[in-house]
Amino acid sequence: MARIVQVGGGIVGLCTGMLLAKDGHEVTVLERDSAPPPSPEAAWHEWGRTGVNQFRMLHYLAPGFTRIMDAELPEIPAALSANGALHANIVEEIPDDIKGGAREGDDLFHTTTARRPVAEAVISAAASATPGLTIRRGVVVSGLLVSNDGVVPHVVGVRTETGEEIRGDLVIDAGGRRSALPSWLEAAGARPLVEEKEDCGFVYYGRHFSSRDGSLPFAFSGPLYAFGSASVLTLPADNGTWGVGLIVSAKDAELRGLRHLDRWTATMKSLPLHAHWIDGDPLDDDIAVMAKIEDRHRSLVADGQPVVTGLLMVGDSWACTNPSLGRGISIGAIHALALRDYLRGAPSDDPAAFVKGWEDATAVSAEPWYRTTLEFDRHRLAEIESLMNGEPYEPDDVGYEMTRALMYAVSKDGDCLRAFVRVAGVLDPPEVVLADPAVADKVVTLGADWRNEEIAGPTRSELVALAAG
């Protein structure tokens, strides 16, 4: 078994460390933020995670995450439940005349979710109690320790900001969206990694609320609802709390006024299906704004050969996308589980094959989720731009047509509903769900009229006026 040095101790990093430690590896997690996790009850108000810019934005632990945790790290859902996390099953909550009654297998859509600070505090406590896993907080990694005996640099550990050298058999970068890996590789004399990077194109305006009796607002739509050139996100959470967000294009200057509390509130009140979501007690004094979030994908293999050996990436340090679909932590869990499984049989005597093998395992496990999320985002941004220009959005893309048709058919058939929730819940990607001919035929038939769907919300001109105040 390996001595593993892991950079990054967010939710995905902690789950990765737990999975590997439980498999017999000796794992040291280095987390740059020094503040220790408080109790889950105090986490929302007391914990500042400066290294995670989306820490206080809306989060959701999807069924895909819960399925992995239930099977591999059951202490996490148990601890979440003990600290007031919400147990939800979106299919169970839908009326029988839409879902066609209860079915065997509907428990697949169960999830246990919480606000990010609460969830991370719970998971941190579980990780700290895991034998073989050491978490060191306040340790800032400044570079890589490498051996240059081979064709490419081989990583043998990391150097911290204080000059400490921490060595291991394998280094894992779980440093998230802010991973500094490219600069570390450059300083180590390695070729640049292969990187795709662009602004995801969205701006997020969010606020959290709570009820005094522990109840949650009734959902008249799915969690993410598009109304013309904006979308609203409503996510129930732990202990009678929930988050509400408005999502618009970063290019849409006319809607930047949504950062003001009064204009954000007025816009929410204009949404007939969602206005009641802001009737609770606010947990935030103002609107939390998140912008300049990157869609980014990295590979350590260039022209068929690794740029470095002895190091692997997992989670957002490898690839990250628009967070409004709530997939990031679930995709990270899929990736972490794939890493655990890969290390069980990976070639230990060939460092280059080891890195390339992980690239192949990533391509099978997590890559499809990254690509389908990126494709959906690009279509949504293009649609918003068309609507801003007063034009219909009509791309020549069968995949887009099927996705929108599936979203429309959700309310018309139980099979389409479950197919959609499998995708939205990060259980199966669209290409798997739509590979079933029976489902695909229903989507084509029942979703054909999706362009004529009535939208419950303000027109473009009304939305602009609301944002202008």
pLDDT in tens, 369-413: 999 999 999 999 999 999 999 999 999 999 999 999 999 999 999
- Which residue matches tokens 């969206």? 177
Most confident segment among 162-171, 199-208, 448-457:
162-171
Residue 391 pLDDT: 92
What is the Cα–Cα distance from 152 to 149, expressed in whole angstroms? 8
Residue 59 contacts residue 80 (beta carbons within 8 Å): no
Give residue 325's pLDDT band: very low, low, confident or very high (50, 70, 90). confident
Mean pLDDT, the chain, as a whole number? 95
pLDDT in tens, 247-290: 999 999 999 999 999 999 999 999 999 999 999 999 999 999 99
Residue 403 pLDDT: 93
pTM, two decimal places: 0.96
Whether the per-residue pLDDT at 49 is higher than 90: the answer is no
Give residue 50's pLDDT band: very low, low, confident or very high (50, 70, 90). confident
Rg (CA), the chain: 22
Task: Please give the span between the terminal C-alpha atoms of the chain, in angstroms, as a whole number.
Answer: 61
What is the Cα–Cα distance from 379 to 371, expressed in whole angstroms? 12
Residue 266 contacts residue 275 (beta carbons within 8 Å): no
Give the residue-averaged pLDDT of 318-343.
94
Give residue 315's pLDDT band: very low, low, confident or very high (50, 70, 90). very high
Nearest to 63 by CA among 107, 30, 31: 107
Give the residue-averaged pLDDT of 197-204.
87
Residue 65 pLDDT: 97
Whether the per-residue pLDDT at 327 is higher than 80: the answer is yes
What is the Cα–Cα distance from 13 to 316, expressed in whole angstroms? 10
Residue 292 pLDDT: 83
Residue 415 pLDDT: 95
What is the Cα–Cα distance from 368 to 433, expressed in whole angstroms? 13
- The 3 state secondary structure assigned to 215-253 is CCCCCCCCCEEEECCEEEEEEECCCCEEEEEEEEECCCH
Enter the DSSP assignment of 191.
P
- Helix (H), strand (E) counts: the chain: 16, 21
Percent of the chain residues topping a pLDDT of 90? 90
Residue 87 contacts residue 40 (beta carbons within 8 Å): no
| 436 CB burial (10 A radius; 0-12, 13-18, 19+) | middle
φ/ψ of residue 8, rounded to 5: 115, 125
Beta strands in 334-374 (DSSP E): none
Residue 54 pLDDT: 81
Give residue 55's pLDDT band: very low, low, confident or very high (50, 70, 90). confident
Least confident of 47-61, 256-270, 329-343: 47-61
Give residue 322's pLDDT band: very low, low, confident or very high (50, 70, 90). confident
Give residue 294's pLDDT band: very low, low, confident or very high (50, 70, 90). confident
